Amino acid sequence: MRSIRFTLAISILFAVATQVAEACGYDYYYPRCYYMFRVMDLEGEPCDDPFAYNKGAKDNCREWQRLAGSGVPLEDIYQVVYKIPLEPFDSLRTAKSYNGGNRFMLWLRADGGDAAEFLYVAKVNEVVRGKYNSPWYYPTMRMGGPMTLDEIVDKSLSQSGRLRDRWLLQAMRAMFTLGRYDQCIQLWKEDISSLPEDNLMRRMAAGYAAGSHYRTGHNEEALQLYAWAGDAWGMFACVDEKDKGSFVDKLRFVYEYSPNNDYLREELQRYIRHLEPTGHYYWGDTKRDVPEEALQLKSLALQIAQDSMVEDRAMWLYAAAFIANLQGNAREASGILARAEKAPASRVVKESVKVMRMYLDAKTMPNDSRYEQHLLAQLRWLDAKVAANLSQRVADKVYNIDSNQSFYYWNDMMRRIVLGEICPRMLDAGKPVRALQLAGMAEFRLVNLLERNGSFAFPAWASDFRWHNYSNDFFIMADTIDLQSLKAYHARLYNPTDAFDTFTNARGKGASYVADIIGTRCLRAMDYATAVQYLGQVSNATKAELNVEMDRSPFDLSNKRIDGGKDFRLQFAREMLSLQQDMKREADPDSRAKMMVRYATGLRNSFGKCWELTQYYKWTSDTETDGLHYGYGVFCGETLWQVGQDKAKALALSDALLRLALATATDDEWKARTLCDFGNLRTAAEEYGDTDAGKRVRSSCDKLVDYHLERDADLHL
């Protein structure tokens, strides 16, 4: 079972999904195809986080923050240190006054005079070095900067005080650019290497010292320094191309010299995510083979996890468990993950291990009451993560839920595990109410949180969430599951029986929304008494968020526009129920026949021009331009109500009632008018030619079209 869209026919998926993908311009995924493997926190996008691709810049800004004070934001520091060019910076630092709001610049002018001077020289250094490193540089060119690199070296080496380590780094950079490699090595050995192990400037200078060793032919010394500095690419430069080997060989090589290198984490994430079954489309093949190289990685990961020198041993066990699961060995994966749960781990890996535990438990634990209690505890933790990490970026992207587009790890994981694994198991186990509760939580929790928070802005075109209410997996399940189960779920929304009910009820959609779905399904099934019962419970707020409105009368054969109002479904159900009751007790045959025709007209219109009574959207081709409101709804279009069994039953009953009405009535004039109204002109002319209606047909039609009730299976209204 690929996802909870279990009720939808594959043929419909092919027929409908292709059109949607082409029209909207982006892919649609299964909930179970979100990336799960995560050993790095990649929640933000580069445009949101200036440090997304530059961890060194963030570390440097934090060092400045230690000097300037915690009240100075990292973003302000980043703007001054990395974004403001040399000349504007010089103007700002030397101006008589500064009226800007950058708190780091305020600090530089008030308390950081030596820091301002340092930053000026550092920016000069970068400008001049950039010219030296340009592919257009020639030794005879004039640099044209306020200082030469030799002057920067002399000035930097003469400094002392709180910024001495930063000045030493500037001297190293300038000397390296000048090709004074022996002096770089000497500076490293005599001054910089004596700085504390955790000193950022020492780590940054190590790369230049390593590069100097490499350029002077001391490859082993260079390799050791690159390894200490965490520069994997520098390490690779120190070995021959033929010695780099396969992907796993590269990991092993880096691990042996630098067991906690960030390169290892980055490559693990990149490689294993490439293995994950990220189906591009609903009709795409989401299964991927696990290559032999991945099995070699699994073996290496288990080996590295035993090394006490490795700080994040859980990361390697987590990777091995993930590969085991990709192989289809969920129980083996669970065993390896149990070791990861006890091993030293970073915050991100600890969280990822908990997510994977929830996922594996959903696949392997017996689906009994004990598992439900265990699951409830896991859901509480994951739900808290969803609620605790909200941001404006999440609010900007929330419409992506509609197509399962990934934009928020915690919500992605709730949807992947709940919709992709747990709900199908609940349905297979005969627990449809639990499946509905869980699907409701997975689909609506984030939307509810953002709506209720009040501090986030939403895209102007998505000021409400109607597009999501009727375009998600919960809606499809509610609209296709057996009606008794849906009613039972609705009852539990009012009367929870346990903690699981209470928890999920508070995180899904309310009873009013569910009542509208039940009532609409009853209209589709012609159960108008029950429809009245449930549609009467729909709140005004729910009615205001319906994605459709009815603008034509269901009891009129013409296309005259009307305002159907927000109660159009309830009003229709009441009218149809009243007609049902009146037809049974009406003694006059002509009055009863008129009721039959009105009822039959309502039946047909509720699946025809007034389809909004029984549907939430209607698929239409580009050539259909009759001006109807087709609602929102994206992949819910897989449920094509207009060709379903409910419509066939309604049309058959409508035909039968029309025949019975004509057989029951005694007024020939009314019969002829009714036949004409329904387009059965030939029958009106031939069988009721003496009536006024029959005479008009015979006198005005040159060629009659036969729309006999007996032969017209779809009386077109």
pLDDT at position 696: 86
pLDDT at position 642: 58
Cα(125)–Cα(123) distance, rounded to whole angstroms? 5
Write out the two tokens for 364.
């392997």
Q: Running along the chain, 717 residues long, what does each successive block of 10 average in pLDDT?
A: 34 29 47 90 58 76 94 94 93 90 93 90 92 60 72 94 95 95 96 94 95 94 94 89 78 95 94 79 57 96 97 98 95 97 97 98 95 98 96 87 86 95 95 97 94 82 68 89 96 96 96 97 96 97 88 88 90 97 94 96 92 80 41 44 79 93 92 86 83 82 45 39
pLDDT digits (tens, 9 = 90+) for 631-675: 433 444 445 565 678 889 999 999 999 999 999 999 989 988 888
Write out the two tokens for 411.
């919500």
pLDDT at position 457: 84
pLDDT at position 637: 42
pLDDT at position 701: 60
Question: Are the C-beta atoms of residues 531 and 573 closer than 8 Å to each other?
Answer: yes
Cα(715)–Cα(717) distance, rounded to whole angstroms? 6
Please count the residues of the chain.
717
Name the 3-class secondary structure at 552: strand
Phi-psi region of 454 (alpha: psi -120 to 50; beta: other; left: phi over 0): left
pLDDT at position 713: 39
Of 96, 15, 1, which Cα lies nearest the Cα of 643?
A: 15
- The alpha-helical segments, DSSP class H, found in 481-613 are 483-494, 499-505, 511-524, 528-535, 540-544, 568-585, 589-605
pLDDT at position 315: 98
Question: Are the C-beta atoms of residues 129 and 173 closer than 8 Å to each other?
Answer: yes
Question: Are the C-beta atoms of residues 413 and 355 closer than 8 Å to each other?
Answer: yes
DSSP for 516-549 reads HHHHHHHHHTT-HHHHHHHHTT--HHHHHT-S--
List Cα–Cα distances, 315 to 37, 194, 246, 350, 417, in angstroms: 10, 32, 21, 9, 21
pLDDT at position 215: 94
pLDDT at position 31: 85
Q: What is the DSSP letter of 94?
A: H
- 659, exposed or middle or buried, with CB in 10 Å at 0-12, 13-18, 19+? middle
pLDDT at position 272: 94
Chain centroid to CA 20 = 17
Write out the two tokens for 444.
């609506």
Of 555, 474, 547, 471, which Cα lies nearest the Cα of 507?
A: 474
pLDDT at position 50: 65
Cα(321)–Cα(302) distance, rounded to whole angstroms? 9
Q: What is the DSSP letter of 243?
A: G
Half-sphere exposure of 73 (CA within 13 A, CB side): 7
Write out the two tokens for 224.
């050791």
pLDDT at position 437: 98
Contacts 24+ apart (CB under 8 A), 427-434: 427/1, 427/4, 427/6, 428/1, 429/367, 431/367, 432/481, 432/482, 432/485, 432/488, 432/489, 433/485, 433/488, 433/489, 433/492, 434/372, 434/500
Question: Are the C-beta atoms of residues 415 and 442 closer than 8 Å to each other?
Answer: yes
pLDDT at position 397: 87
pLDDT at position 461: 59
Cα(617)–Cα(633) distance, rounded to whole angstroms? 6
Write out the two tokens for 363.
């696949």
Cα(296)–Cα(209) distance, rounded to whole angstroms? 35
pLDDT at position 288: 64
The pTM (predicted TM-score) of the whole model is: 0.82
Strand spans (E) along 231-368:
none
Write out the two tokens for 692.
């006024």
- 660, exposed or middle or buried, with CB in 10 Å at 0-12, 13-18, 19+? middle
pLDDT at position 629: 39
Phi-psi region of 404 (alpha: psi -120 to 50; beta: other; left: phi over 0): left
| 537 Cβ neighbours under 8 A, 6+ residues apart | 511, 512, 515
Phi, psi of 543, rounded to the nearest 5 degrees: -60, -35
pLDDT at position 369: 94
pLDDT at position 470: 84
Name the 3-class secondary structure at 561: strand
